[in-house]
Amino acid sequence: MSKKLKIENDAPLFNAAIHGIFLIVAGLVLPAVLIPIVKITNYSEIVEEIAKALIVLLLILRLPSLKLRLAGAIAFGFLFGLSENFLYLNQIFQFGDFSVLWQRFLWTVPMHFTTVLVMTLAGMGKKWFLILGLIGAVILHMLFNSLIVNTPII
């Protein structure tokens, strides 16, 4: 009887571990998947934040505790930003614009985990608040691109 009880109590932790694995894979792979869509639409902020909002909805908000949700959001955003930076390295080396390199690594990773945190915290209220978090994340991303990366907002 105690073994069954232990297995039942471990189920949320096992579920959280599976979600964690999916978050790691999503953080590392999603930027590469989004590149063609971003090139076609030319709206990186909207495309990336919608994709991250789906991860928040499908994985992060299903984690069993606040601590795991926040850790999952930070880890996913960190890996997303890091992976995106590595994808841009080829372009940076190809064009020889190394001034952008330090900016990308210093600012892009925190921006990505901040936008994921904004959506996660918003979505932890009512699920439809995630839409407000998404709008806030898109605005933050646009401001980031405008101020740090020096690309126009519109």
87-146 pLDDT tens trace: 888 777 777 767 777 777 888 999 999 999 999 999 998 888 999 999 999 999 999 988
CB 77 within 8 A of CB 117: yes
Encoded tokens for 138: 């898109």
Tell me which amino acid residue 38 is. V
Encoded tokens for 22: 């999916």
Task: Kindly report the average pLDDT of the chain as a whole number.
Answer: 86
Q: What is the pLDDT of residues 40-74, one digit of tens each?
A: 999 999 999 999 999 999 999 999 899 999 999 99
pLDDT value for 150: 60
Q: Is the pTM of this model over 0.95?
A: no
